[in-house]
Chains A and B, each alone.
Chain A
Amino acid sequence: MLFLQGCNFACAACHNPHTIGQCNDCGDCIPACPTAALSLAGGRLHFDPARCTQCDDCLAACPISANPMALPYSVADILTLLHRHRAFLSGITVSGGEPTLQTGFVTALFAAIREDPDLAGLTCFVDSNGHLGALGWQGLLSVTDGVMLDIKAFGPALHLAMTGRSNARSLASAKIAHAAGKLYELRYLIVPDQTDSPGEIARLIRFASDLGGPQRIRLNAFHHQGVRGVAADWLSAPRQAVEVVAEQLRHAGLGPVIVPAVWL
């Protein structure tokens, strides 16, 4: 997994909110670091991994949901890491944040992996919210083996309320990836009293069915790990409720339907 920093959605339910922003070198996190791993040099924030104890206090101090510990990597850097860990890998998945905000990087990386004889056996997957436009997918899909596409909600108003954006592009992206034979998995987050209404589930079933053929769907359960702000007061999705939805999907001929292995 390669987690890329920055996201174009602002989901209240985000389980990794520190991946949303891009560091703007404000330096507000520096006093929060107990081991002085953070500093400003020439107006740029500097992070020293050797001093870091991974307490994550800087994440709480960041005013823009960024991650001062995120480090820049070039395509060549990632290739070096992949070579070093080759024996332990069967593929690479870029996630985030929203990895398609850096489509150029991801496309170049995947293309380089395909061209490298020692890495050519690795699969290349993208875990996305689908907000990328059709043109962006064109280049990316040509070097991608599969897409995990997260639909946050089907009702337009609900999606807007949950993410701050319209879902029109996300739905279109699912169709584009599917048409290319590369929609590996649809993902859907069950948030009690919001995305689990009969209407939402019916629209999920219709959308997935309209793609044609059995569709792999992963149901994620909302929980509080990492969640900040208003969503910290929302209810966790109970196992039984998620299982009921999974059963409905299977009954509709969809599947395989994957539910969480661990309930938090």
Chain B
Amino acid sequence: MTFETQGLRRVVNNPALSAAQKARALSIEAENAMPYPQLDAETHAALEARVICDMYEGHAPYRPRYVLPDYGVVLTCGSDWLELPVPQTLDEAINTLMIAYHHVPSVTGMPVYVGQLDDLLLPFCEGVSDEALYQKLKLFWRYIDRVLPDAFLHANIGPSDNRVARTILRVDAELGQIAPNLTFRYDPAISTEAILAQAIANITICSKPHIANHPLHAATFDARGYGIVSCYNALPQAGGASTLTRINLLEVAKRSHDTDDFLTNTLPQYVALNVRLAQARIDYLFDQSGFFDSFLVTEGWIDRGRFTAMFGIFAMAEAVNHLLLKSGNPGRYGRDAEANALGHAISARLTDLVAAQPMRNVWRDRAMLHSQAGLSTDTGLTPGVRIPYGTEPDPVVHVLALAPHHQYYPSGISEILTLDETVKANPAAVMDLCKGAFASGFREFTANIGGNDLVRVTGYMIRLSDVARFNALKGARTNTTALGAEAAKLTAILDRKPRVVAYELAAGADR
């Protein structure tokens, strides 16, 4: 076997990568030296042209893209394979989780889900003082960031107001780390105003947590629950997603005569090809890789029947503007009612098309639509159904323009609202915006606040100071900093237009 070794040499000799980061890069090169899973000619051509895209997950799927173990299993049963007894104390429970994380794969080489932490740890907190809980969680948090330094890694808390959730929020704001990423699941019937206020206050400090509309997500999944992982993907707990393949809607629009042709012919054609691409990858994972023989399955951490296929779409804004321009209409997605309505119609059509495609070895036999948040190399293309960077209207108009999309994307859709720094003086305004977004049908609420070092790129967190250091070739401890640096250079992500919450009436722009 011979490799083209120049690329490998560049990896090995890269001064900005640690030994572990080099080993990971080399393993990717090795995987991609193998032939791709068998594709028919039409699917292959669409992939080559990147009308459909496999997110560069690799040529030989030997683990699912995202794995969301039910960590409750190891905490209540221990593990024969890992020779772990059932934990009895909080220290033992945290230690068990720290060990468990190392055995949970994902496409990033690190776990993307570290669990619904308050549910997992609360049973061990009886008799533990607030101060002790704070100290232990702080060390746990530091461990996660230093040993699993990947901002796709995600912890979930809520919807109840409890000691663990509160302490995690306190520690998270205090440390300002990129990992873990954090989601607070909000349910107006269960969560208190106080814990939502604490979560919102954290957003003004460190742009975390992400807030999930729990009742909407809970209704999408089942009794075994769901988790929010990576860039705000909602997936079955005790399962996950085998793969994420996505359609570049602009490329589909370019291959269409007009809007009618797009909806009737080209979109169905590429939906079918994207499903075929996903199925080929899933077949390899299930039938050849041996992944599901692992102790994770036999001990019940995951269930092979609970892995979905994420069906991603992106560049909705560019596709809509392109189709409108073809009919002589200079539409402005996100700003004009007609452009927004076409976007909503495309999302509805996608839902029907995906529902009409049965799949093998996929949870509930159908892929789940996902508004995909982008790759660092998506130059000139806007993630998912978002409004192009720098052209966003004020936050309320922004939310109302996108809200009708949210019903169509059960495996995740997020919009990053970028708010002016002065909102730090008025966290109540952020809370109003969050509640208003949820009341309007938003599944997720995510905000970056101007002036924070810790900001969100497509969904994962970076520290601007890390990016500056990485660009000065000083290397980065974290895997996602390089992606963030690349995205910042290529995709203008940091140009998100900050808006003052009260902007609209001040400018009289509503008339």
Contacts and interface: CB of A to CB of B under 8 A. Distances in A.
Interface of A: 1-3, 49, 52, 54, 69-71, 81, 85, 87-90, 260-262
Interface of B: 204, 396, 399, 421-422, 424-426, 428, 431-433, 435-437, 439-440, 451, 502, 505-511
Contact of B508 (A71, A88, A260): A71
B424 A262 contact: yes
A197 B433 CA distance: 40
Given A88-B436, A90-B432, A261 B422 contact: yes
B436 A89 contact: yes
Nearest to B395: A88
Contact of B505 (A2, A52, A90, A262): A2
Contacts of B426: 261
A262 B440 contact: no
Q: Return the 8 tightest CB-CB contacts between A and B, nearest first.
A: A88-B436, A261-B425, A87-B439, A261-B424, A1-B502, A87-B436, A71-B508, A262-B421
Contacts of A69: 507-508
A90 B428 contact: yes
Contacts of B396: 85, 88
Nearest to B510: A81
The secondary-structure label for the interface of chain A is: loop
Contacts of A88: 396, 399, 432-433, 435-437
Contact of A262 (B451, B507, B509): B451
B510 to A, nearest CB: 6
Which of A70, A85, A89, A260 counts the most chain B CB atoms within 10 A? A85
A87 B511 contact: no
Given A88-B396, A88-B436, A260-B425, 15 more contacts: A49-B507, A49-B509, A69-B508, A71-B511, A81-B510, A87-B435, A87-B439, A87-B440, A88-B399, A88-B437, A261-B422, A261-B426, A262-B421, A262-B425, A262-B451
Contacts of B436: 85, 87-89
Contacts of B204: 261
B422 A49 contact: no
Most central of A87, A90, A260 by chain B CB within 10 Å: A87
Instruction: Name the residue in A69, A85, A88 with the highest tally of chain B Cβ atoms < 10 Å from its Cβ.
Output: A88
Nearest to B403: A87
A217 to B, nearest CB: 15
B506 A1 contact: yes
Nearest to A89: B432
A63 B141 CA distance: 58
Nearest to B204: A261
A69 B432 CA distance: 27
A115 to B, nearest CB: 22
* Residue of B424, B425, B433 contacting most chain A CB atoms (<10 Å): B425
A81 B424 contact: no
A49 B435 contact: no
A52 B396 CA distance: 20
A70 B508 contact: yes
Contacts of B433: 88
Contacts of B440: 87
A262 B435 contact: no
B86 to A, nearest CB: 46
A3 B506 contact: yes
Contacts of B399: 88
A49 B509 CA distance: 6
A71 B508 CA distance: 7
A52 B440 CA distance: 29
16 contacts: A1-B502, A2-B505, A69-B507, A69-B508, A70-B508, A71-B508, A81-B505, A85-B396, A85-B436, A87-B436, A87-B440, A88-B437, A89-B436, A90-B431, A90-B432, A262-B451
Contact of A54 (B425, B432, B437, B507): B507
Nearest to A78: B505
A74 to B, nearest CB: 12
Contacts of B507: 49, 54, 69
Contacts of A87: 435-436, 439-440
Nearest to B441: A87
B508 A49 contact: yes
A131 to B, nearest CB: 22
Contacts of A1: 502, 505-506
